[in-house]
């Protein structure tokens, strides 16, 4: 039986404690990208969960291992060294602080832009860390994951009978695509152990949120922590799998499908024993791109649930919000009463 976790809203500089989720959810849709029926299964998964796992993805394991090894090297450095690669403005190294509006988590991260020239020299002064190795590892990994993202988006379009089938993927392929890549490291948190005698608590590593872009592709090591919110309001724990990728529907894809696909709310709990390392590619459109429901997915212009907006406008608006806020609410069309 899965029980709804208690939730305490996050205040700056305070630890957020949740009752621990003991059960893993075994109903996460599993998509084999090599199978011909995968496009329909992906559509079903996006409608039901906004989330699914993919296998037979063609991303070379050597790219994953190489990037993980570079990330571990960086995150194992002393904090005083890592801070030289910060602050995250928004790119670079960040520690505990998430965004600029008071959200904190048990996490440190590196955020880089995938399409503009990110200055990897920020990492040059950190002992034992070679910026060129990090750059090469990120570029190899991101190019493979971006290709997989585009394949998935084209399968989605095909499954929805949308033509041309590159209607979503072309936004990621555009040279001005505003896509970003993030490495999150959740150190073991010994403080969890002492929270109470029953050890029935957990600490928020990254608070609940949806991703604003079109699609997110997540890979993590074999440490648990990821949870998604089901339609019935229950938080469920996703079993870790270091060989597969997890795919999230983002806010922009929810809008483009006129709400048919739902952007999944998710969070990460810290672990008292093992560290968790995750790599996330956020596939975003160019800043000037207009985001609106696709005409072929509407019954008429009046059936649009959202006002048209540019990705720049949405990003600017999202930047002013807290993690758990519903960012799309400002762009919804209010139905006449």
What six digits make up the tokens of 269?
A: 């709990």
Helices (H), 245-293: 251-256
**What are the DSSP E strand ranges found in the chain?**
17-19, 30-32, 51-55, 92-98, 103-113, 180-186, 201-209, 215-220, 226-229, 235-237, 245-249, 266-269, 276-283, 290-291, 309-310
Handedness of CA 27, 29, 34, 37 (dihedral sign): positive
- Residue 287 to residue 213: CA distance in whole angstroms: 11
Strands 266-269 and 201-209: antiparallel
Using left for φ > 0, alpha for ψ between -120 and 50, and beta otherwise, residue 322 falls in: beta
- Residue 224 to residue 135: CA distance in whole angstroms: 27
Task: Tell me the Cα Rg of the chain.
Answer: 20
Q: Do the beta carbons of residue 109 and residue 94 sit within 8 Å?
A: yes
- Of 219, 267, 276, 327, which one is the catalytic site residue? 276
- Asked if 327 is an active-site residue, the reply is no
Q: Do the beta carbons of residue 310 and residue 288 sit within 8 Å?
A: yes
Selection from 117, 126, 136 nearest residue 86 by Cα: 126
The set of catalytic residues is: 276
């Amino acid at each position: 039986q899965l029980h709804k976790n208690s939730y305490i809203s996050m205040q700056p500089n305070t630890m957020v404690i949740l009752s621990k989720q003991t059960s893993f959810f075994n109903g996460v849709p599993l998509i084999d990208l090599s199978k011909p029926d995968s496009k329909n299964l992906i559509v079903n998964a996006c409608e039901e969960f906004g989330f699914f796992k993919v296998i037979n993805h063609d991303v070379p394991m050597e790219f994953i291992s190489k990037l993980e090894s570079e990330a571990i090297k960086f995150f194992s450095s002393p904090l005083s060294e890592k801070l030289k690669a910060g602050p995250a403005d928004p790119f670079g190294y960040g520690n505990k602080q998430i965004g600029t509006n008071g959200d904190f988590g048990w996490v440190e991260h590196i955020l880089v832009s995938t399409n503009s020239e990110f200055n990897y020299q920020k990492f040059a002064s950190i002992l034992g860390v070679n910026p060129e190795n990090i750059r090469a590892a990120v570029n190899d990994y991101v190019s493979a994951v971006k290709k997989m993202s585009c394949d998935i988006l084209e399968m989605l379009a095909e499954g929805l009978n949308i033509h041309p089938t590159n209607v979503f993927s072309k936004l990621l392929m555009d040279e001005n695509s505003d896509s970003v890549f993030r490495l999150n490291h959740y150190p073991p948190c010994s403080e969890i152990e002492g929270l109470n005698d029953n050890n029935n608590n957990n600490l928020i590593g990254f608070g609940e949120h949806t991703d604003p872009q079109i699609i997110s592709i997540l890979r993590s090591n074999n440490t648990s922590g990821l949870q998604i919110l089901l339609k019935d309001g229950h938080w469920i724990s996703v079993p870790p799998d270091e060989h597969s990728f997890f795919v999230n529907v983002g806010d922009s894809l929810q809008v483009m499908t006129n709400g048919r696909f739902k952007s999944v709310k998710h969070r990460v709990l810290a672990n008292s024993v093992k560290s968790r390392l995750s790599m996330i590619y956020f596939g975003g459109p160019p800043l000037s791109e207009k985001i609106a429901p696709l005409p072929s997915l509407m019954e008429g212009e009046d059936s649009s649930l959202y006002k048209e907006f540019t990705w720049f406008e949405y990003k600017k608006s999202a930047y002013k919000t807290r993690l758990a806020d519903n960012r799309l609410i400002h762009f919804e069309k209010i139905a006449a009463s």
